[in-house]
Amino acid sequence: MDTGTKNKITVDLSTGELLGSPVQNTVRTLRDLQGIFRDETARLAMDLDQTVYSVQVLMPVPEGSRGGLFWGNTFIQPGTVGDEYFMTKGHFHADRSRSEYYLGLAGKGALILMDENRRTRFEILERGSLHYIPPHTAHRVANIGASVLSFLACWPSDAGHDYQAIAAEGFSARLRNVNGAPTLVEEA
């Protein structure tokens, strides 16, 4: 008899951890984040094996399938590289028409958004805050708090990730700790 518990998937709503299903887990250490932070000397002086963030992804259909949805839980450790907060690499969706939802669960962060005209802004991401990432918008998240930041995400299975555009040109502004306040500073 199917009790309804088989393959049950749960999200621990206090930590954001995804439980009970085969999920893909990706860990990004400081070593993996070459070229992401402004202060490369500061990054290289740190323990490169230190985890900056990890992502659990649930993929019920193959990557690239039309009509499916993926679910991801991201955990960003607190910390800084120079005056920049620990953050995700950031990406456009490979299919620029694809959008996404983020929901904050724990900690305090900033969702940094850049449109295709390279206009950058940010929204405070915290427990209960819901964010719609529109099409044609690059996105990355920085942990601006003192504890682990976790957020949930849902996006189309055919969105894909374009990291190359960000690796090549970055965002037009960086979120930096200026006198203790997270401040978007335009790149020179």
The footprint of ligand PAN on residues 47-76 (CB under 6 A) is 55, 72, 74
Judged by beta carbon, residue 52 or residue 133, the one nearer Zn ion is 133
Task: Report the nearest approach of ligand PAN to the CB of residue 10 (Å).
Answer: 19
Check the CA dihedral 185-38-43-122 and report its sign: positive
Extract the tokens encoding 143: 């942990």
Q: Does residue 85 interact with ligand PAN by CB under 6 A?
A: no
Extract the tokens encoding 177: 């700790």
Task: Report the nearest approach of ligand PAN to the CB of residue 6 (Å).
Answer: 26
Please state, in angstroms and as integers, the Cα–Cα distance from residue 34 to each residue in 3, 16, 40, following that order: 48, 27, 7
| Residue whose beta carbon is closest to Zn ion | 100
Which of 43, 155, 157, 158 touches ligand PAN by CB under 6 A? 155
Any bridge partners for residue 137, and if so which?
115
Considering only 44-52, 85-93, 124-132, 170-178, which stretch makes contact with ligand PAN by CB under 6 A?
Answer: 85-93
Judged by beta carbon, residue 53 or residue 80, the one nearer Zn ion is 53
Q: Does residue 91 interact with ligand PAN by CB under 6 A?
A: yes
Any bridge partners for residue 181, and if so which?
178
Q: Does residue 100 interact with ligand PAN by CB under 6 A?
A: yes
Task: Report the nearest approach of ligand PAN to the CB of residue 91 (Å).
Answer: 5
For 108-164, the three-class secondary structure string (H helix, E strand, C coil) is: EEEEEEEECCCCEEEEEEECCCEEEECCCEEEEEEECCCCCEEEEEEEECCCCEECH
Extract the tokens encoding 116: 């295709």
Task: Report the nearest approach of ligand PAN to the CB of residue 39 (Å).
Answer: 19
Indicate the residue type of 21.
S
The binding site for ligand PAN (CB under 6 A) comprises 55, 72, 74, 88-91, 100, 139-140, 153, 155, 161
The binding site for Zn ion (CB under 5 A) comprises 100
